[in-house]
Chain A
Amino acid sequence: MRAFAQLFLSLDETNKTNEKVKVLKDYFNSVPDTDKMHMLALFTGRKPKRIINSTQVRTWATEITNIPIWLFEESYHVVGDLAETMALLMPQNTTSISNKTLTDWIGELNELSAKTEEERKLWLIDSWAILDTQERFVFNKLLTGSFRVGVSQNLVIKALADITKLDAATLTHRIMGNWVPETYTYEQLIQEQGAADDISRPYPFFLAYPIQETSEVHKSADDLKSALGDAADWQAEWKWDGIRAQLIKREGKIFIWSRGEDLATEKFPELHPFLNDLPDGTVLDGEILSFQNGLPMPFNVLQTRIGRKNLSKKILEESPVALIAYDCLEYAGEDIRTKTQSERRLILEQLQSATNFPEIFRISALIDFDSWDDLATVRTQSRAMVAEGIMLKRKSATYQVGRKRGDWWKWKIDPLSVDAVMIYAQKGHGRRADLYTDYTFAVWDGDKLVPFAKAYSGLTDAEINKVDYFVKRNTLEKFGPVRTVKPELVFEIGFEGINRSTRHKSGIALRFPRILRWRHDKPKEEADTLDNLKALLGD
């Protein structure tokens, strides 16, 4: 565990990519293979099982810290990270006396599921006692199951690629899917892989790069021509707003993976018949959306169903899903990602035309256009199509790994926007700990301000500091971590969509609200009204 704690510390001690890679390599080179796999699992978002719930961890930690519970909670708001808060509050311990490895600790943690609450508590308190402050921090991270590190998966892969002499795309592929470090060994990871391969394993997603625009600067047809070349080299599709997914049919079994690498097969029973009907050795990339009368429904309809543990009959009726397929990555058991976009498209079209479920297995229609000017005109109809804009794919493009510049572009439409008044503020987490960074915004309803959206992003660090300064000096009331703030600051809030909602006081819900800019020029009286917002509902 000492090596793992040191890894964290060293990663925190540099901002330079090369040094981070070096630190990661040093770690890989110094620990047993089982530790490597556990680290890889943790750093690629495979959370450890949470066996002791966080309320218990908190309670037992508070008993050790010798401070009242309310002060523990306040400390947590200042630190913005539970694992770190507990490590900081415990009596300092500068010498570690434990030689257990990361694998040992995770093993012990997993054994706890068979133990009584009293035994768990004893184990936890004994564990804390033999760890130093930095080890306690990473240990607490294991306990609380939140493992966001300031290191991207790409860096971890790069370090591993350097060590194993394998290429990054291959490694990225091999760590996809539902492996667990207890059974997937380092040897398996680095070996030439064959038929024994995990049949559920998805390919890494290829992600589009955004064409950068702001509300002031638009890209003209000429800009596109100079950046992307001849329009005839590109295929265009609508950019749908659903759940990006990869769908697999291999050896008679089906798997549905979301972009976040969650296995979501059971969440979408409507898709099972068509998947079972596909030839073995097929992998599709596409978007899952709710449909009604042949038209996609807004994202929030789908959102209500994603959150449910059990899919009731009612939900399935209200929000039936279908797939809009974008691409085909594997055909007849062969990885076809290196074929061109056009070749893959032909295969996808063949597959789709052969389906017995054309209402469920849909294909993303190609937009007919002769010039960039044409396409710019078509793009203005995105909202009517319930699309977010347009996707551009080079006809000669291979299917690549991750977000790459060059062959896939997303050209989104301008967000909708309103001017709103900030009325509540709350402290952020992680990098934004102890700063007021999470705001609630309101619009006018008569002479009252009605909250309608929360937003966390969009301001620069300098602006955040200024807003934080304002919040601390203009607090009207405190409710736990939330402060009611003197209504004064006006911001332009952008969002992708707006829908009616019975769950919100304002009667509306926004999709992806964020701060576009701080309207220093606007007094609060000139912020928008609820009627302005409702006019955007378009019904």
Chain B
Amino acid sequence: MAKKPLLEFTDKGIYCDKGRFYIDPWKPVDDAVITHAHADHAYFGHKHYLAHHLSREVLYYRLGDIQLQTVEYGETVVKNGVSISLFPAGHVIGSAQIRVEYQGEVWVVSGDYKTEDDGISTPFEPVKCHHFISECTFGMPVYQWKPQVQIFDEVNNWWRNNANNGVATVIVGYSLGKAQRILQNLDLSIGTVYTHGVIENTNEALRRNGVILNPTERITLDTPKEEVRNGIIIAPPSSVGTPWMRKFQPYSFGYCSGWMAIRGAKRRRAADRGFILSDHADWDGLVSAIDATGCEKVYLTHGYTATFTRYLNEIGFDAHEVHTLYGDDEALESVPSEEPVADSSLSFGEGRGEGEGVNS
């Protein structure tokens, strides 16, 4: 009989039978190891959670009173003889790759990752392994990112220009990750940074966690419209087109997402500006990250899995496509959320399969 693999793909999530724990399961389980706090990876309803220190407060904020153990990168936890350790994934603050080892066999689950250092998340670190389970959200060669410094020059110029013309600036990115990445790279000499409540809640959770962020002002019912004219408002995708946003008129609104690389996708959003800024690896980033693991086998979980798998096989990897519920297949931008989201104040756009490009 063939040996049972150390990690397997089940209808609840990625499962380690030997260690009796799941990684990023989407159905309630006893023991869950969480790569990062985005809703399509950290579900509500597990008995026990294990995650990185920096995910702690956001997980409490999003999932309520859960039983949570947190660890540092590189620290080892042993479950039923199986060693678990977390390594930086560079996706968002506190995001981790999960390294699982048993009797010399090493598996790594990437979660979501990017290879560029964004200056706020601990940078991605390749981990040697035999089996690598990777995302491939942007696993098409048309996705090639520019260095973020160039993108933020564009963002700041746009903001400055709007401020000079007396037009408010609204910039859209999801609340954990993109929002902070934008915040830390804005030119604060231009004006004040305002935040939508959902984003400010996440900022506060991160600050409780000891993360130092630039100063922000929460938009409330009392915030005078005139006051935000020179400022920039960071808002989640779900606020696009709502009365909340319309009350800042006149404003110019920009989207930050990897999907903005394609003209058609950008035009569909009807944004004034689309900034190509992603927290996922681009094509070259994916290929180089996979190569750096030195893995014998690679499994692709979400994104352009079919295409990317075929390509990897052609260039000499042993690649396999697997189905998970992490922004499944290539359906990354049109997912009506039917999964329960624990925190009802969390808007639809931030749920799993975020309406406009999951955590992209």
Contact = CB atoms under 8 A, between A and B. Distances in A.
A469 B268 contact: no
Given A78-B262, A432-B268, A433-B262, A465 B141 contact: no
Contacts of B307: 71, 74
B267 A13 contact: no
B294 to A, nearest CB: 23
Q: Is the interface of B mostly helix, strand, loop or mixed?
A: loop
Interface stretch (A84-92, A121-129, A266-274, A334-342): A84-92
Interface in B244-282: 261-268, 270-273
B142 A79 contact: yes
Contacts of B265: 433-434
Residues of A contacting B: mostly: helix
Nearest to A428: B264
Contact of B142 (A13, A85, A469, A472): A85
Nearest to B142: A88
Contact of B270 (A15, A67, A71, A80): A15
A65 B262 contact: no
B314 A465 contact: no
Nearest to B307: A74
A469 B140 contact: no
A432 B264 contact: yes
A14 interface: yes
B270 A434 contact: no
Contacts of B141: 65, 67, 71, 75, 88-89
Nearest to B254: A13
A314 interface: no
Contacts of B31: none
A84 B262 contact: yes
A259 interface: no
A16 to B, nearest CB: 7
Interface in A53-110: 65, 67-68, 70-71, 74-75, 78-81, 84-85, 88-89, 92, 94
A469 B267 contact: no
Given A15-B272, A469-B336, A431 B267 contact: yes
A308 interface: no
Nearest to B270: A15
Given A88-B261, A469-B335, A14 B272 contact: yes
A12 B141 CA distance: 23
Nearest to B353: A469
B226 to A, nearest CB: 21
Interface string A200-212: 0000000000000
Contact of B262 (A67, A71, A79, A465): A79
A150 B267 contact: yes
A81 B261 CA distance: 13
A92 B261 CA distance: 13
Contact of A435 (B266, B272, B304, B334): B334
Interface residues of A, number: 38
A419 B56 CA distance: 52
A466 interface: yes
A434 B266 CA distance: 12
Given A68-B314, A89-B141, A466-B336, A473 B267 contact: no
Contact of B273 (A13, A75, A464): A13
A473 B144 contact: no
Contacts of A431: 264, 267-268
Nearest to B314: A68
Interface residues of B, number: 31
B334 A469 contact: yes
Contacts of A75: 140-142
Contacts of A79: 142, 262-264
B264 A434 contact: yes
Nearest to B355: A465
A434 to B, nearest CB: 6
Interface stretch (B16-24, B43-51, B324-332): B324-332
B334 A92 contact: no
Contacts of A333: none
A468 interface: yes
Contacts of A70: 310
B333 interface: yes
B263 A461 contact: no
B358 to A, nearest CB: 12
A93 to B, nearest CB: 12
B336 A12 contact: no
Interface string B141-180: 1101010000000000000000000000000000000000
Contacts of B267: 12, 150, 430-431
A465 B334 contact: yes
A362 interface: no
A486 interface: no
A417 to B, nearest CB: 27
Contacts of B311: 67-68, 71
A226 B288 CA distance: 69
Q: Closest 10 A-B residue pairs measured CB to CB?
A: A433-B264, A465-B334, A472-B331, A88-B142, A468-B334, A431-B267, A469-B334, A75-B142, A472-B329, A430-B264
Interface of B: 140-142, 144, 146, 261-268, 270-273, 304, 307, 310-311, 314, 328-331, 333-336, 355
19 contacts: A12-B267, A16-B272, A65-B141, A71-B307, A75-B140, A78-B262, A79-B263, A79-B264, A81-B263, A84-B262, A89-B142, A429-B264, A431-B268, A432-B264, A432-B268, A434-B265, A466-B334, A472-B329, A473-B329
Given A79-B264, A92-B144, A468-B334, 7 more contacts: A71-B307, A78-B262, A79-B263, A430-B267, A434-B264, A461-B268, A466-B334
